[in-house]
Amino acid sequence: MRTHYCGHLRASHTGETVTLFGWVDRRRDHGGVIFVDLRDRTGIVQIVSDPERTPGSFETANDLRNEYVVRITGKVSQRQDGAVNPKLPTGEIEIYADEIELLNAVRKQLPFQVSTAEAESVREELRLRYRYLDLRRERMAQNLQTRHAVVKAIRRFLEDAEHFMEVETPILTRSTPEGARDFILPSRVNEGEWFALPQSPQLFKQILMVSGVDRYYQIARCFRDEDLRADRQPEFTQLDMEMSFLTQDEILDLNERLVGHIFQTVQGIDVPRPFPRLTYAEAMDRYGTDKPDTRYGLELVEVSDLVANSGFKVFSGAVKSGGMVKVLPIPNGNDVISNVRIKPGGDLFKVAAEAGAKGLAYIRVRESGEIDTIGAIKDNLSAEQKQELLSRTGAQPGTLLLFGAGPDDIVNPTLDRVRQAIAKEMNLIPADQLNLLWVTDFPMFEWNADEQRLEALHHPFTAPRPSDIGDLKTALAQAYDLVLNGYEIGGGSLRIYQPEVQRQVFETIGLSTEEAQEKFGFLLEAFEYGTPPHGGIAYGLDRLVMLMAGEESIRDAIAFPKTQQARCLLTEAPSTVDAQQLKELHVASTYRPKPKSEAADS
């Protein structure tokens, strides 16, 4: 029976006989004395075996290899002076192994080295295929631990301090329009009908408010059948919350205390409260994005009014056709960014082009305050305009001004990306800083050009500001996102709780009364029976853990993630199924393997 975990042993245990279980992290064989680093999830402790002092274990110690599983019984003893290892928390002691029992050997060559001492980066394909070994490694073991600690802190705060109740909602539910593509499952019992996996528990949590649950939360699995990214998986976990009878400010305050509690408990970090707030309009204006990274400056400056009548057609034309001209001022940018990089073919040009821009105009501010740029700009700006440009952008000698000109929805994303690329390159991002901020007052809708209709920016249950109900098309929403260092980690809103308003919103996004009734009739009906004002929020748990663990991929915050092709390399899911299974489900596959290309043969 285990008496201790490896990583918990200290000098205070000296003299005790302990029994440990774990994996051989490493073995150092000196011919006479053998050292074994024994590892379990808490850490490593050194085991000693030699023929004279521990004859009972020496033979087995000889046979041990990396990652063998063993039971060890022995006495904790203080290490000699000079033999102490300050790098290990257990480095002051070691265990003289009276007994070593080999519980299981490794029968195959390890696909990669597991040892904590090996920091070599292993191909991710291998890590995913042998995930159980990868999870033994220190980095991933720590990430799992961090994730656990975050969830635990959430539960303690919400349940113990704030009277929240966890309620599970169905995984088998119905397909809903709007939002992402659903994963669907055929119903065997109800032939011809389909379940969908939930994109989020949105509808259920609102119904729980109608049910009087008052404060709901759930660590909820969500599913969206869309293409993957470094921060997106087809199944992911949300901290999902919904509350009745609270104002937006009360909800934000509660969430600030929640987030503060998480950082305090998990990492011992005090995040200052209240969190700064930016309106959506302000965020777009100053950063060109609704999730700005505010750890560094490089704020955008709009100059549309200044250049609207200039002779430089790129600028004046952009403004005349309803667009804008904005500047990204880069202090000391002249030294860092050459013209070649801004012009076609250059890397910054590519960044801008990817966002849809045709190019980046620029002005360099020289020592005397002289401006250095292409003739077309220089010649078409008056001295006053130049002066105003410099003072408005705060330009100093050495400053590089990059211009975006065109439609708003090109200029903003372009300068946002360029801003991030430059901040990274110029090392302007303080690594250890945590900038949490709320972005509020989102528009209710945004125009979807493909479908030629308005679309809910957040989701169609978001409440408009009461003062904006008159004109829903341009209304602002009572919605809020929590942003951490440029990542959206949570978002929510006050919900519509009057069926009339809900119907109007459905109408605005082009959902007919009949369609709304068919898709969401159950919700609208529930709202007829006494619905409390309510609102909520959902956090991307994986993304939060990723950031707290200092990882750059969401996969490193998830025990068993999928590849970018949405495959699980461990289980080889998805897989084909028997024809019989399909038949029972009343499903036939239309898939036909592509014929092999014959070009190679002939």
Considering only residues 46 to 65 of the shown chain, the ones binding RNA according to CB under 7 A are 46, 48, 50-53, 65
C-alpha torsion angle, residues 419, 422, 428, 430 (rounded to 10):
70
| Paired sense of beta strands 69-78 and 43-49, if any | unpaired
Q: Point out which span in 185-193, 265-273, 423-431, 565-573 binds RNA (CB under 7 A).
A: 565-573
Helix (H, G, I), strand (E, B) or coil at 69: strand
Q: Which of residues 489-508 bind RNA (CB under 7 A)?
A: 491
Question: 94 vs 15, 19, 50, 503, CA distance in Å?
Answer: 11, 13, 13, 71
Q: Point out which span in 23-31, 141-149, 357-365, 368-376 binds RNA (CB under 7 A).
A: 23-31
**Element (H or E) spanning 538, and its range?**
strand 534-540
Residue 113 as a binder of RNA (CB under 7 A): the answer is yes
Q: Which amino acid is at 264?
A: Q
Q: Please give the full DSSP string across 449-515, using - where no structure is assigned.
A: TTTTEEEESS-TTBPBPGGGGGGGGGPBBSEEEEEETTEEEEEEEEBP-SHHHHHHHHHHTT--HHH
Q: Which two tokens stand for residue 556?
A: 């490193």
* Torsion over CA: 113, 115, 121, 127 (sign): positive
Least distance to RNA from the beta carbon of 366, Å?
Answer: 35
> Among 220, 278, 555, 557, which residue interacts with RNA (rule: CB under 7 A)?
555
> Among 334, 567, 570, 585, which residue interacts with RNA (rule: CB under 7 A)?
567
The number of residues that bind RNA (CB under 7 A) is: 74
Q: How far apart are the first and last CA of the chain?
A: 68
Question: 157 vs 170, 219, 250, 470, 549, CA distance in Å?
Answer: 25, 14, 16, 39, 21
| Residue 241: φ, ψ to 5° | -135, 150
Residue 83 as a binder of RNA (CB under 7 A): the answer is yes
- CA–CA dist 352, 374 (Å, integer): 19
Nearer to RNA, 315 or 506 (CB): 506
- Chain mean position to CA 345: 32
Q: Point out which span in 208-216, 220-228, 339-347, 388-396 binds RNA (CB under 7 A).
A: 220-228
Q: Which amino acid is at 376?
A: A
> Among 1, 15, 30, 321, which residue interacts with RNA (rule: CB under 7 A)?
30
Angle at 427 between CA 424 and CA 429, to 5 degrees: 75
> Among 174, 232, 257, 392, which residue interacts with RNA (rule: CB under 7 A)?
232
Residue 584 as a binder of RNA (CB under 7 A): the answer is no
Least distance to RNA from the beta carbon of 83, Å?
Answer: 4
Nearer to RNA, 111 or 186 (CB): 111
Nearer to RNA, 109 or 467 (CB): 109
Least distance to RNA from the beta carbon of 305, Å?
Answer: 28
Strands (E) across 252-390 are located at: 277-279, 301-302, 324-330, 361-365, 371-373
Q: Point out which span in 177-185, 245-253, 327-335, 508-516 binds RNA (CB under 7 A).
A: 177-185
Nearer to RNA, 118 or 388 (CB): 118
Residue 118 as a binder of RNA (CB under 7 A): the answer is yes
Residue 89 as a binder of RNA (CB under 7 A): the answer is no
Least distance to RNA from the beta carbon of 165, Å?
Answer: 23
> Among 171, 457, 476, 570, which residue interacts with RNA (rule: CB under 7 A)?
457
Least distance to RNA from the beta carbon of 231, Å?
Answer: 7
**In the block, which residue shows the tokens 């969830």?**
151
- CA–CA dist 484, 295 (Å, integer): 10
Least distance to RNA from the beta carbon of 584, Å?
Answer: 28
> Among 2, 123, 148, 313, which residue interacts with RNA (rule: CB under 7 A)?
123
Nearer to RNA, 109 or 321 (CB): 109
**In the block, which residue shows the tokens 């033979």?**
59
Nearer to RNA, 358 or 567 (CB): 567
Nearer to RNA, 319 or 484 (CB): 484
Residue 427 as a binder of RNA (CB under 7 A): the answer is no
CB 510 within 8 A of CB 520: no
Nearer to RNA, 329 or 491 (CB): 491
Q: Point out which span in 42-50, 143-151, 281-289, 367-375 binds RNA (CB under 7 A).
A: 42-50
Least distance to RNA from the beta carbon of 94, Å?
Answer: 5
Residue 126 as a binder of RNA (CB under 7 A): the answer is yes
> Please, which residues bridge with residue 43 across strands?
40
> Among 458, 495, 503, 534, which residue interacts with RNA (rule: CB under 7 A)?
458
Using alpha carbons, select from 453, 451, 498, 496 the residue that is nearest to residue 477: 496
Nearer to RNA, 80 or 589 (CB): 80
Nearer to RNA, 194 or 487 (CB): 487
Q: Point out which span in 11-19, 330-338, 373-381, 562-570 binds RNA (CB under 7 A).
A: 562-570
Least distance to RNA from the beta carbon of 457, Å?
Answer: 5
Residue 569 as a binder of RNA (CB under 7 A): the answer is yes
Q: Which of residues 364-423 bind RNA (CB under 7 A)?
A: none
Half-sphere exposure of 427 (CA within 13 A, CB side): 0
Q: What's 15's DSSP letter?
A: T
